[in-house]
A and B are shown apart, each in its own frame.
Chain A
Protein backbone atom coordinates (compact mmCIF):
# COMPACT_ATOMS: atom_id res chain seq x y z
CA UNK A 1 0.00 0.00 0.00
CA UNK A 2 1.04 3.61 -0.29
CA UNK A 3 2.76 5.49 2.47
CA UNK A 4 0.13 6.96 4.73
CA UNK A 5 2.40 9.03 6.93
CA UNK A 6 1.77 12.10 4.78
CA UNK A 7 -1.82 11.93 5.93
CA UNK A 8 -2.52 14.21 8.88
CA UNK A 9 -4.22 12.78 11.94
CA UNK A 10 -6.34 15.29 13.76
CA UNK A 11 -7.14 13.37 16.89
CA UNK A 12 -5.21 10.78 18.82
CA UNK A 13 -6.84 7.95 20.70
CA UNK A 14 -5.64 6.85 24.13
CA UNK A 15 -6.49 3.16 24.48
CA UNK A 16 -6.52 2.08 28.09
CA UNK A 17 -5.26 5.39 29.43
CA UNK A 18 -8.41 7.27 30.34
CA UNK A 19 -8.72 7.66 34.12
CA UNK A 20 -11.59 8.85 36.27
CA UNK A 21 -10.99 11.61 38.82
CA UNK A 22 -10.57 8.95 41.50
CA UNK A 23 -7.73 7.45 39.50
CA UNK A 24 -9.54 4.38 38.22
CA UNK A 25 -8.66 3.35 34.66
CA UNK A 26 -11.67 3.15 32.37
CA UNK A 27 -12.01 0.28 29.96
CA UNK A 28 -11.92 1.59 26.39
CA UNK A 29 -12.88 -0.46 23.41
CA UNK A 30 -13.34 -0.15 19.70
CA UNK A 31 -16.84 -0.40 18.36
CA UNK A 32 -18.32 -0.97 14.91
CA UNK A 33 -21.06 1.38 13.75
CA UNK A 34 -22.97 1.03 10.51
CA UNK A 35 -23.78 4.30 8.80
CA UNK A 36 -26.35 3.68 6.10
CA UNK A 37 -27.51 2.26 3.74
CA UNK A 38 -30.55 4.31 4.78
CA UNK A 39 -28.94 7.43 6.18
CA UNK A 40 -29.47 10.99 4.90
CA UNK A 41 -25.77 11.87 5.05
CA UNK A 42 -24.63 9.09 2.77
CA UNK A 43 -26.41 10.79 -0.17
CA UNK A 44 -28.00 7.55 -1.30
CA UNK A 45 -27.72 3.89 -0.48
CA UNK A 46 -24.13 3.69 0.69
CA UNK A 47 -23.13 1.72 3.78
CA UNK A 48 -20.07 2.75 5.73
CA UNK A 49 -18.85 0.25 8.27
CA UNK A 50 -17.02 2.45 10.76
CA UNK A 51 -14.67 1.25 13.47
CA UNK A 52 -14.75 3.92 16.16
CA UNK A 53 -12.89 4.59 19.36
CA UNK A 54 -15.27 6.88 21.20
CA UNK A 55 -16.13 9.45 18.56
CA UNK A 56 -12.92 9.03 16.62
CA UNK A 57 -12.91 7.09 13.38
CA UNK A 58 -10.26 4.38 13.41
CA UNK A 59 -11.14 2.71 10.12
CA UNK A 60 -13.84 2.73 7.45
CA UNK A 61 -14.96 -0.01 5.12
CA UNK A 62 -17.36 1.30 2.46
CA UNK A 63 -19.92 -1.19 1.15
CA UNK A 64 -21.35 -0.27 -2.23
CA UNK A 65 -23.48 -2.02 -4.82
CA UNK A 66 -26.99 -1.43 -3.46
CA UNK A 67 -27.94 0.28 -6.72
CA UNK A 68 -26.03 -2.07 -9.00
CA UNK A 69 -27.86 -2.83 -12.26
CA UNK A 70 -24.89 -4.06 -14.29
CA UNK A 71 -25.05 -1.30 -16.87
CA UNK A 72 -22.19 -2.95 -18.72
CA UNK A 73 -24.17 -6.14 -19.32
CA UNK A 74 -27.16 -4.08 -20.49
CA UNK A 75 -24.92 -2.24 -22.95
CA UNK A 76 -23.55 -5.49 -24.38
CA UNK A 77 -27.08 -6.82 -24.90
CA UNK A 78 -28.36 -3.81 -26.85
CA UNK A 79 -28.83 -4.25 -30.58
CA UNK A 80 -27.55 -0.80 -31.39
CA UNK A 81 -25.03 1.72 -30.03
CA UNK A 82 -27.69 4.44 -29.77
CA UNK A 83 -29.84 2.31 -27.48
CA UNK A 84 -27.20 2.53 -24.74
CA UNK A 85 -27.78 6.27 -24.26
CA UNK A 86 -30.88 6.04 -22.01
CA UNK A 87 -28.88 3.68 -19.80
CA UNK A 88 -25.93 6.06 -19.41
CA UNK A 89 -28.46 8.73 -18.35
CA UNK A 90 -29.41 6.58 -15.43
CA UNK A 91 -25.86 6.19 -14.14
CA UNK A 92 -25.30 9.74 -12.97
CA UNK A 93 -28.88 10.95 -12.79
CA UNK A 94 -27.77 14.34 -11.41
CA UNK A 95 -25.62 15.06 -14.46
CA UNK A 96 -27.17 12.99 -17.23
CA UNK A 97 -26.16 15.40 -20.02
CA UNK A 98 -22.48 14.96 -19.18
CA UNK A 99 -22.82 11.18 -19.16
CA UNK A 100 -24.43 11.26 -22.63
CA UNK A 101 -21.79 13.64 -23.88
CA UNK A 102 -18.97 11.34 -22.80
CA UNK A 103 -20.55 8.31 -24.43
CA UNK A 104 -21.25 10.18 -27.67
CA UNK A 105 -17.64 11.42 -27.81
CA UNK A 106 -16.33 7.87 -27.27
CA UNK A 107 -18.46 6.28 -30.00
CA UNK A 108 -17.78 9.12 -32.44
CA UNK A 109 -14.03 8.63 -31.98
CA UNK A 110 -14.51 4.92 -32.58
CA UNK A 111 -16.43 5.69 -35.78
CA UNK A 112 -14.04 8.53 -36.72
CA UNK A 113 -16.89 10.89 -37.57
CA UNK A 114 -17.07 14.66 -37.16
CA UNK A 115 -20.22 16.33 -35.92
CA UNK A 116 -21.50 19.72 -37.11
CA UNK A 117 -20.29 22.82 -35.24
CA UNK A 118 -23.78 23.69 -34.10
CA UNK A 119 -24.06 20.33 -32.38
CA UNK A 120 -20.76 20.87 -30.54
CA UNK A 121 -21.85 24.31 -29.36
CA UNK A 122 -25.22 23.06 -28.13
CA UNK A 123 -23.50 20.15 -26.38
CA UNK A 124 -21.16 22.54 -24.58
CA UNK A 125 -24.06 24.76 -23.51
CA UNK A 126 -26.00 21.75 -22.21
CA UNK A 127 -22.96 20.22 -20.49
CA UNK A 128 -22.14 23.47 -18.70
CA UNK A 129 -25.75 24.13 -17.68
CA UNK A 130 -25.79 20.61 -16.32
CA UNK A 131 -22.52 21.24 -14.48
CA UNK A 132 -24.08 24.21 -12.71
CA UNK A 133 -27.18 22.18 -11.85
CA UNK A 134 -25.08 19.32 -10.53
CA UNK A 135 -22.79 21.57 -8.49
CA UNK A 136 -25.86 23.27 -7.02
CA UNK A 137 -27.04 19.90 -5.72
CA UNK A 138 -23.54 19.20 -4.41
CA UNK A 139 -23.05 22.48 -2.54
CA UNK A 140 -26.66 22.57 -1.35
CA UNK A 141 -26.50 19.11 0.21
CA UNK A 142 -23.01 19.85 1.51
CA UNK A 143 -24.56 22.74 3.41
CA UNK A 144 -27.09 20.34 4.90
CA UNK A 145 -24.26 18.04 5.98
CA UNK A 146 -22.77 20.99 7.85
CA UNK A 147 -26.12 21.83 9.42
CA UNK A 148 -27.16 24.70 7.15
CA UNK A 149 -30.58 24.11 5.65
CA UNK A 150 -31.42 27.43 3.96
CA UNK A 151 -28.67 27.38 1.28
CA UNK A 152 -30.11 24.09 0.06
CA UNK A 153 -33.39 25.83 -0.80
CA UNK A 154 -31.54 28.65 -2.57
CA UNK A 155 -29.59 26.07 -4.60
CA UNK A 156 -32.65 24.11 -5.64
CA UNK A 157 -34.53 27.29 -6.55
CA UNK A 158 -31.83 28.14 -9.10
CA UNK A 159 -31.44 24.56 -10.30
CA UNK A 160 -35.14 24.57 -11.15
CA UNK A 161 -34.53 27.28 -13.77
CA UNK A 162 -31.90 25.13 -15.49
CA UNK A 163 -34.25 22.15 -15.50
CA UNK A 164 -36.86 24.42 -17.12
CA UNK A 165 -34.37 25.14 -19.90
CA UNK A 166 -33.78 21.41 -20.39
CA UNK A 167 -37.50 20.71 -20.38
CA UNK A 168 -38.00 23.36 -23.03
CA UNK A 169 -35.31 21.70 -25.18
CA UNK A 170 -36.06 18.01 -24.96
CA UNK A 171 -39.14 17.55 -22.78
CA UNK A 172 -37.39 15.86 -19.88
CA UNK A 173 -36.17 17.35 -16.62
CA UNK A 174 -33.88 14.64 -15.30
CA UNK A 175 -33.03 11.91 -17.83
CA UNK A 176 -32.80 13.51 -21.23
CA UNK A 177 -31.75 11.08 -23.98
CA UNK A 178 -30.79 14.28 -25.78
CA UNK A 179 -27.19 13.92 -26.96
CA UNK A 180 -27.06 11.16 -29.54
CA UNK A 181 -24.12 9.63 -31.34
CA UNK A 182 -23.44 12.06 -34.18
CA UNK A 183 -25.98 14.69 -33.18
CA UNK A 184 -28.88 15.63 -30.97
CA UNK A 185 -32.47 14.47 -30.61
CA UNK A 186 -33.88 17.99 -31.15
CA UNK A 187 -32.61 21.36 -32.24
CA UNK A 188 -32.93 24.22 -29.76
CA UNK A 189 -36.40 25.77 -29.55
CA UNK A 190 -36.52 29.36 -30.92
CA UNK A 191 -36.85 31.05 -27.52
CA UNK A 192 -34.00 29.07 -25.91
CA UNK A 193 -31.16 31.51 -26.62
CA UNK A 194 -33.00 34.42 -25.00
CA UNK A 195 -34.06 32.35 -22.02
CA UNK A 196 -30.50 31.07 -21.57
CA UNK A 197 -29.04 34.60 -21.64
CA UNK A 198 -31.72 35.64 -19.18
CA UNK A 199 -30.68 32.81 -16.89
CA UNK A 200 -26.99 33.79 -17.03
CA UNK A 201 -27.83 37.40 -16.12
CA UNK A 202 -30.04 36.21 -13.29
CA UNK A 203 -27.61 33.62 -11.98
CA UNK A 204 -24.30 35.51 -11.85
CA UNK A 205 -25.13 37.63 -8.77
CA UNK A 206 -26.67 34.58 -7.08
CA UNK A 207 -23.22 32.93 -6.82
CA UNK A 208 -21.96 35.80 -4.67
CA UNK A 209 -25.15 35.69 -2.65
CA UNK A 210 -24.66 31.97 -2.04
CA UNK A 211 -21.02 32.53 -1.06
CA UNK A 212 -22.03 35.19 1.45
CA UNK A 213 -24.72 32.94 2.83
CA UNK A 214 -22.74 29.73 3.12
CA UNK A 215 -19.16 29.62 1.85
CA UNK A 216 -17.72 32.44 3.95
CA UNK A 217 -20.05 31.92 6.88
CA UNK A 218 -17.85 31.65 9.94
CA UNK A 219 -19.54 28.60 11.41
CA UNK A 220 -19.34 26.80 8.06
CA UNK A 221 -15.65 27.69 7.64
CA UNK A 222 -14.85 26.45 11.16
CA UNK A 223 -16.65 23.17 10.44
CA UNK A 224 -15.01 22.48 7.07
CA UNK A 225 -11.50 23.99 7.15
CA UNK A 226 -8.66 21.51 7.83
CA UNK A 227 -11.08 18.58 7.68
CA UNK A 228 -10.49 15.61 5.37
CA UNK A 229 -7.25 16.88 3.88
CA UNK A 230 -6.36 15.04 0.67
CA UNK A 231 -2.65 15.52 -0.14
CA UNK A 232 -1.52 15.77 -3.77
CA UNK A 233 0.38 12.48 -3.90
CA UNK A 234 -2.53 10.50 -2.47
CA UNK A 235 -4.97 12.20 -4.85
CA UNK A 236 -2.89 11.16 -7.85
CA UNK A 237 -2.19 7.66 -6.56
CA UNK A 238 -5.92 7.08 -6.13
CA UNK A 239 -6.61 8.69 -9.54
CA UNK A 240 -9.02 11.22 -8.06
CA UNK A 241 -10.43 13.66 -10.56
CA UNK A 242 -12.61 16.71 -10.92
CA UNK A 243 -13.08 19.01 -7.92
CA UNK A 244 -11.42 16.38 -5.68
CA UNK A 245 -8.17 16.70 -7.62
CA UNK A 246 -8.36 20.45 -8.19
CA UNK A 247 -9.26 21.00 -4.54
CA UNK A 248 -5.87 19.47 -3.70
CA UNK A 249 -4.18 22.14 -5.80
CA UNK A 250 -3.45 20.10 -8.93
CA UNK A 251 -4.05 22.15 -12.06
CA UNK A 252 -5.83 19.56 -14.14
CA UNK A 253 -9.03 19.76 -16.14
CA UNK A 254 -9.77 17.47 -19.08
CA UNK A 255 -11.68 20.20 -20.88
CA UNK A 256 -8.35 21.99 -21.24
CA UNK A 257 -5.75 19.23 -20.95
CA UNK A 258 -7.28 16.45 -23.05
CA UNK A 259 -9.55 18.59 -25.22
CA UNK A 260 -12.79 17.34 -26.68
CA UNK A 261 -15.73 19.13 -28.28
CA UNK A 262 -15.04 22.86 -28.77
CA UNK A 263 -13.86 23.80 -25.28
CA UNK A 264 -10.55 25.15 -26.60
CA UNK A 265 -12.38 28.05 -28.27
CA UNK A 266 -13.60 29.62 -25.06
CA UNK A 267 -11.85 31.62 -22.39
CA UNK A 268 -12.04 30.15 -18.93
CA UNK A 269 -9.75 28.99 -16.14
CA UNK A 270 -9.70 25.78 -14.10
CA UNK A 271 -10.22 26.64 -10.43
CA UNK A 272 -7.89 25.29 -7.76
CA UNK A 273 -7.98 24.89 -4.02
CA UNK A 274 -5.42 27.17 -2.37
CA UNK A 275 -5.97 26.51 1.30
CA UNK A 276 -7.42 29.99 1.83
CA UNK A 277 -8.99 29.18 5.19
CA UNK A 278 -7.10 26.05 6.15
CA UNK A 279 -4.94 23.44 4.45
CA UNK A 280 -4.79 22.83 0.72
CA UNK A 281 -7.09 19.93 -0.12
CA UNK A 282 -9.54 20.18 2.77
CA UNK A 283 -13.31 19.96 2.40
CA UNK A 284 -13.69 23.73 2.19
CA UNK A 285 -11.30 23.81 -0.78
CA UNK A 286 -13.39 21.26 -2.63
CA UNK A 287 -16.48 23.34 -1.90
CA UNK A 288 -14.97 26.60 -3.13
CA UNK A 289 -13.69 24.88 -6.28
CA UNK A 290 -17.30 23.93 -7.10
CA UNK A 291 -18.54 27.45 -6.39
CA UNK A 292 -15.90 29.02 -8.66
CA UNK A 293 -16.42 26.44 -11.37
CA UNK A 294 -20.01 27.57 -11.63
CA UNK A 295 -18.80 31.09 -12.43
CA UNK A 296 -16.52 29.67 -15.12
CA UNK A 297 -19.38 27.61 -16.53
CA UNK A 298 -21.50 30.75 -16.85
CA UNK A 299 -18.60 32.36 -18.71
CA UNK A 300 -18.42 29.42 -21.12
CA UNK A 301 -22.18 29.40 -21.68
CA UNK A 302 -22.23 33.13 -22.47
CA UNK A 303 -19.47 32.74 -25.06
CA UNK A 304 -21.07 29.66 -26.58
CA UNK A 305 -24.50 31.25 -26.81
CA UNK A 306 -22.98 34.33 -28.46
CA UNK A 307 -21.06 32.32 -31.05
CA UNK A 308 -23.49 29.53 -31.89
CA UNK A 309 -23.47 28.80 -35.64
CA UNK A 310 -26.40 27.66 -37.77
CA UNK A 311 -26.69 24.12 -39.08
CA UNK A 312 -28.61 20.89 -39.08
CA UNK A 313 -28.18 19.05 -35.79
CA UNK A 314 -29.12 15.67 -37.23
CA UNK A 315 -27.03 15.80 -40.38
CA UNK A 316 -24.22 13.60 -39.04
CA UNK A 317 -26.29 10.98 -37.21
CA UNK A 318 -25.27 7.66 -38.80
CA UNK A 319 -28.13 5.53 -40.11
CA UNK A 320 -26.38 2.37 -39.02
CA UNK A 321 -23.56 2.26 -36.50
CA UNK A 322 -21.10 -0.50 -37.28
CA UNK A 323 -17.59 0.47 -36.20
CA UNK A 324 -14.76 -1.74 -37.42
CA UNK A 325 -13.16 -4.01 -34.84
CA UNK A 326 -11.30 -1.58 -32.59
CA UNK A 327 -11.22 -0.28 -29.07
CA UNK A 328 -11.11 3.12 -27.49
CA UNK A 329 -10.85 4.74 -24.10
CA UNK A 330 -12.32 8.25 -24.23
CA UNK A 331 -12.54 10.52 -21.22
CA UNK A 332 -14.49 13.67 -20.55
CA UNK A 333 -14.89 15.98 -17.59
CA UNK A 334 -18.20 15.59 -15.77
CA UNK A 335 -19.05 17.64 -12.67
CA UNK A 336 -17.60 14.82 -10.58
CA UNK A 337 -14.44 14.32 -12.61
CA UNK A 338 -13.02 12.03 -15.24
CA UNK A 339 -15.68 9.93 -16.90
CA UNK A 340 -14.09 7.33 -19.15
CA UNK A 341 -15.73 4.85 -21.48
CA UNK A 342 -13.67 1.89 -22.61
CA UNK A 343 -15.53 0.50 -25.61
CA UNK A 344 -14.46 -2.63 -27.46
CA UNK A 345 -16.09 -3.21 -30.83
CA UNK A 346 -15.98 -6.53 -32.68
CA UNK A 347 -17.34 -5.10 -35.93
CA UNK A 348 -20.98 -5.92 -35.17
CA UNK A 349 -23.82 -3.51 -34.53
CA UNK A 350 -23.65 -3.72 -30.76
CA UNK A 351 -20.70 -3.09 -28.43
CA UNK A 352 -18.64 -6.14 -27.42
CA UNK A 353 -17.65 -4.59 -24.09
CA UNK A 354 -18.41 -1.24 -22.49
CA UNK A 355 -16.70 -0.30 -19.27
CA UNK A 356 -17.66 2.94 -17.59
CA UNK A 357 -14.95 4.41 -15.42
CA UNK A 358 -17.17 6.52 -13.25
CA UNK A 359 -15.52 9.38 -11.37
CA UNK A 360 -17.49 9.00 -8.14
CA UNK A 361 -16.56 5.31 -7.85
CA UNK A 362 -12.89 6.18 -8.00
CA UNK A 363 -13.19 9.27 -5.80
CA UNK A 364 -15.06 7.28 -3.16
CA UNK A 365 -12.26 4.72 -2.91
CA UNK A 366 -10.02 7.32 -1.29
CA UNK A 367 -12.55 8.02 1.50
CA UNK A 368 -11.02 5.59 4.05
CA UNK A 369 -7.58 7.16 3.54
CA UNK A 370 -8.70 10.69 4.29
CA UNK A 371 -11.16 10.12 7.12
CA UNK A 372 -9.11 8.00 9.53
CA UNK A 373 -8.34 9.85 12.72
CA UNK A 374 -11.21 12.32 12.39
CA UNK A 375 -14.54 12.60 14.18
CA UNK A 376 -17.69 10.84 12.97
CA UNK A 377 -19.24 14.28 12.42
CA UNK A 378 -16.30 15.14 10.15
CA UNK A 379 -16.83 11.93 8.21
CA UNK A 380 -20.27 13.20 7.22
CA UNK A 381 -18.66 16.32 5.80
CA UNK A 382 -15.88 14.43 4.03
CA UNK A 383 -18.33 12.06 2.38
CA UNK A 384 -20.42 15.09 1.38
CA UNK A 385 -17.42 16.87 -0.13
CA UNK A 386 -16.58 13.88 -2.35
CA UNK A 387 -19.98 14.51 -4.00
CA UNK A 388 -20.98 10.95 -4.77
CA UNK A 389 -23.99 9.89 -6.79
CA UNK A 390 -24.65 6.29 -5.95
CA UNK A 391 -26.28 5.53 -9.27
CA UNK A 392 -22.91 6.17 -10.82
CA UNK A 393 -20.82 4.48 -8.14
CA UNK A 394 -22.81 1.26 -8.45
CA UNK A 395 -23.76 1.45 -12.13
Chain B
Protein backbone atom coordinates (compact mmCIF):
# COMPACT_ATOMS: atom_id res chain seq x y z
CA UNK B 1 0.00 0.00 0.00
CA UNK B 2 1.38 3.44 -0.82
CA UNK B 3 1.61 6.23 1.73
CA UNK B 4 -1.24 8.09 -0.01
CA UNK B 5 -3.57 5.09 0.37
CA UNK B 6 -2.62 4.67 4.01
CA UNK B 7 -3.36 8.34 4.57
CA UNK B 8 -6.76 8.01 2.88
CA UNK B 9 -7.61 5.04 5.09
CA UNK B 10 -6.59 6.92 8.21
CA UNK B 11 -8.59 9.99 7.19
CA UNK B 12 -11.67 7.90 6.47
CA UNK B 13 -11.47 6.15 9.80
CA UNK B 14 -10.17 8.82 12.17
CA UNK B 15 -11.06 12.06 10.31
CA UNK B 16 -10.37 14.78 12.87
CA UNK B 17 -7.45 12.94 14.51
CA UNK B 18 -5.37 13.27 11.34
CA UNK B 19 -4.00 16.79 11.60
CA UNK B 20 -1.47 17.16 8.82
CA UNK B 21 0.56 15.11 6.39
CA UNK B 22 3.38 15.41 3.93
CA UNK B 23 3.90 12.90 1.16
CA UNK B 24 6.49 14.63 -1.07
CA UNK B 25 9.42 14.06 1.30
CA UNK B 26 12.02 11.30 1.63
CA UNK B 27 9.77 9.40 4.00
CA UNK B 28 6.07 10.41 4.00
CA UNK B 29 4.62 11.25 7.40
CA UNK B 30 1.24 11.77 9.00
CA UNK B 31 0.68 14.00 12.02
CA UNK B 32 -1.93 12.64 14.42
CA UNK B 33 -3.54 13.89 17.62
CA UNK B 34 -1.41 13.04 20.68
CA UNK B 35 -4.45 11.93 22.68
CA UNK B 36 -5.50 9.28 20.14
CA UNK B 37 -2.25 7.55 19.22
CA UNK B 38 -3.27 4.29 20.86
CA UNK B 39 -6.46 3.62 18.90
CA UNK B 40 -4.76 4.63 15.65
CA UNK B 41 -1.84 2.33 16.48
CA UNK B 42 -4.18 -0.57 17.21
CA UNK B 43 -5.93 0.01 13.88
CA UNK B 44 -2.63 0.14 11.99
CA UNK B 45 -1.40 -3.03 13.64
CA UNK B 46 -4.57 -5.13 13.37
CA UNK B 47 -6.23 -4.05 10.13
CA UNK B 48 -5.61 -6.81 7.55
CA UNK B 49 -4.70 -4.30 4.84
CA UNK B 50 -2.20 -2.50 7.11
CA UNK B 51 -0.59 -5.03 9.48
CA UNK B 52 2.11 -2.74 10.80
CA UNK B 53 3.50 -5.38 13.11
CA UNK B 54 6.98 -3.94 13.48
CA UNK B 55 7.69 -0.63 15.23
CA UNK B 56 11.18 0.12 13.92
CA UNK B 57 11.87 3.18 16.00
CA UNK B 58 10.19 5.64 18.34
CA UNK B 59 12.02 8.93 18.85
CA UNK B 60 11.34 12.04 20.82
CA UNK B 61 12.28 15.38 19.29
CA UNK B 62 12.47 18.92 20.69
CA UNK B 63 11.63 21.21 17.78
CA UNK B 64 12.98 24.28 19.59
CA UNK B 65 9.77 26.26 18.95
CA UNK B 66 7.94 25.36 22.13
CA UNK B 67 6.83 22.02 20.74
CA UNK B 68 7.93 18.48 21.46
CA UNK B 69 7.27 15.60 19.14
CA UNK B 70 7.20 11.83 19.03
CA UNK B 71 8.05 10.11 15.75
CA UNK B 72 6.97 6.53 15.07
CA UNK B 73 8.60 4.62 12.22
CA UNK B 74 6.34 1.73 11.30
CA UNK B 75 6.94 -1.20 9.04
CA UNK B 76 4.88 -4.20 8.02
CA UNK B 77 6.77 -7.45 7.59
CA UNK B 78 3.69 -8.86 5.79
CA UNK B 79 2.99 -6.15 3.22
CA UNK B 80 6.45 -4.56 3.35
CA UNK B 81 5.18 -1.00 3.42
CA UNK B 82 6.30 1.81 5.69
CA UNK B 83 4.78 4.91 7.20
CA UNK B 84 5.97 7.55 9.63
CA UNK B 85 3.57 8.81 12.30
CA UNK B 86 4.14 11.96 14.27
CA UNK B 87 2.45 13.32 17.36
CA UNK B 88 3.19 16.73 18.81
CA UNK B 89 2.55 18.41 22.12
CA UNK B 90 3.59 21.65 23.77
CA UNK B 91 6.38 21.91 26.33
CA UNK B 92 3.96 23.10 29.01
CA UNK B 93 1.55 20.20 28.47
CA UNK B 94 3.87 17.43 27.31
CA UNK B 95 1.45 14.51 27.24
CA UNK B 96 1.19 11.83 24.55
CA UNK B 97 -0.77 8.62 24.80
CA UNK B 98 1.42 5.54 25.16
CA UNK B 99 1.46 2.81 22.50
CA UNK B 100 3.32 0.25 24.62
CA UNK B 101 0.14 -1.85 24.80
CA UNK B 102 0.27 -2.15 21.01
CA UNK B 103 3.96 -2.82 20.48
CA UNK B 104 6.01 -4.18 23.38
CA UNK B 105 9.13 -2.50 22.06
CA UNK B 106 7.57 0.94 22.61
CA UNK B 107 7.88 0.45 26.37
CA UNK B 108 11.62 1.16 26.56
CA UNK B 109 11.62 3.67 23.72
CA UNK B 110 8.96 5.71 25.51
CA UNK B 111 10.85 5.53 28.77
CA UNK B 112 13.89 6.87 26.90
CA UNK B 113 11.89 9.74 25.37
CA UNK B 114 10.50 10.54 28.82
CA UNK B 115 13.98 10.42 30.33
CA UNK B 116 15.85 12.52 27.77
CA UNK B 117 13.15 14.84 26.36
CA UNK B 118 10.57 14.90 29.11
CA UNK B 119 7.50 13.72 27.24
CA UNK B 120 4.99 12.07 29.57
CA UNK B 121 3.34 9.02 28.04
CA UNK B 122 -0.13 8.57 29.49
CA UNK B 123 -1.15 4.97 30.30
CA UNK B 124 2.44 3.74 30.19
CA UNK B 125 2.75 0.79 32.60
CA UNK B 126 6.15 1.72 34.04
CA UNK B 127 7.21 5.26 33.20
CA UNK B 128 10.57 5.68 34.97
CA UNK B 129 13.89 7.12 33.88
CA UNK B 130 15.84 4.49 31.99
CA UNK B 131 19.28 5.81 31.03
CA UNK B 132 19.86 8.55 33.61
CA UNK B 133 19.92 8.10 37.40
CA UNK B 134 16.52 8.35 39.08
CA UNK B 135 17.36 11.58 40.89
CA UNK B 136 18.64 13.42 37.80
CA UNK B 137 17.06 16.82 37.23
CA UNK B 138 15.94 18.00 33.82
CA UNK B 139 15.86 16.38 30.41
CA UNK B 140 19.21 16.66 28.57
CA UNK B 141 17.99 16.44 24.98
CA UNK B 142 15.83 19.53 25.31
CA UNK B 143 17.41 22.36 23.38
CA UNK B 144 17.26 24.72 26.38
CA UNK B 145 18.91 22.25 28.76
CA UNK B 146 21.64 23.69 30.97
CA UNK B 147 24.31 21.32 32.30
CA UNK B 148 24.08 21.40 36.11
CA UNK B 149 27.03 22.75 38.11
CA UNK B 150 26.99 19.90 40.58
CA UNK B 151 25.59 16.39 40.65
CA UNK B 152 25.45 14.81 44.14
CA UNK B 153 28.20 17.17 45.28
CA UNK B 154 30.49 16.35 42.33
CA UNK B 155 31.47 19.13 39.96
CA UNK B 156 30.05 18.32 36.52
CA UNK B 157 31.92 20.45 33.88
CA UNK B 158 35.49 19.23 34.20
Contact = CB atoms under 8 A, between A and B. Distances in A.
B36 to A, nearest CB: 20
Given A65-B130, A365-B108, A331 B26 contact: no
A238 B106 CA distance: 8
Contacts of B71: 342
B108 A342 contact: no
Interface string A344-356: 1000000001010
B104 A234 contact: yes
A327 B62 CA distance: 14
Given A70-B141, A355-B57, A239 B105 contact: yes
A109 interface: yes
B108 A362 contact: yes
Contacts of B19: none
B73 A342 contact: yes
Nearest to B60: A355
Interface string B75-114: 0010010001000000000000000110111011100000
A239 B116 contact: no
A237 B105 contact: yes
B141 A338 contact: no
A283 B77 CA distance: 24
Contacts of B108: 361-362, 365
A64 B104 contact: no
B61 interface: yes
Q: From DSSP, what is the main secondary structure of chain A's interface residues? A: mixed
B115 to A, nearest CB: 8
Interface string B123-158: 001000111110000001100000000000000000
A234 B101 CA distance: 13
Contact of B56 (A73, A250, A338, A366): A338
Interface residues on chain B, size class = 20 to 34
A140 interface: no
A168 to B, nearest CB: 36
A35 interface: no
Contact of A237 (B80, B84, B104, B131): B104
Contacts of A355: 57, 59
Interface string A1-30: 110000000000000000000000000000
Q: From DSSP, what is the main secondary structure of chain B's interface residues? A: loop
Select the residue from B57, B84, B103, B116 with max chain A CB neighbours within 10 A.
Answer: B57
A369 interface: yes
A257 B75 CA distance: 12
A353 B131 contact: no
B105 A329 contact: no
B55 A239 contact: yes
A369 B116 contact: no
B9 interface: no
A64 B130 CA distance: 7
A27 B5 CA distance: 62
Given A329-B57, A357-B57, A68 B25 contact: no
A72 interface: yes
Interface string A320-335: 0000001111010000
A73 B101 contact: no
Nearest to B59: A355
A62 to B, nearest CB: 9
Contacts of A344: 61
B42 interface: no
A285 interface: no
Contacts of A234: 104
A320 to B, nearest CB: 21
B148 to A, nearest CB: 13
Interface string B39-65: 000000000000001111101011000
A340 interface: yes
Given A238-B104, A238-B105, A326-B25, A73 B61 contact: no
Interface of B: 25-27, 53-57, 59, 61-62, 71, 73, 77, 80, 84, 100-101, 103-105, 107-109, 116, 125, 129-133, 140-141
Interface of A: 1-2, 64-65, 68, 70, 72-73, 76, 109-110, 234, 236-239, 250, 252, 257, 326-329, 331, 338, 340, 342, 344, 353, 355, 357, 361-362, 365-366, 369, 394-395
10 contacts: A1-B125, A70-B131, A72-B116, A72-B141, A76-B141, A234-B104, A328-B26, A329-B27, A365-B108, A369-B104
- Closest 4 pairs (CB-CB, A-B): A239-B105, A355-B59, A65-B131, A357-B57
Given A1-B104, A326-B26, A328-B26, 17 more contacts: A65-B130, A65-B131, A65-B132, A68-B131, A68-B132, A236-B54, A238-B105, A257-B80, A327-B25, A329-B57, A338-B56, A342-B57, A342-B73, A357-B59, A365-B108, A366-B104, A395-B131
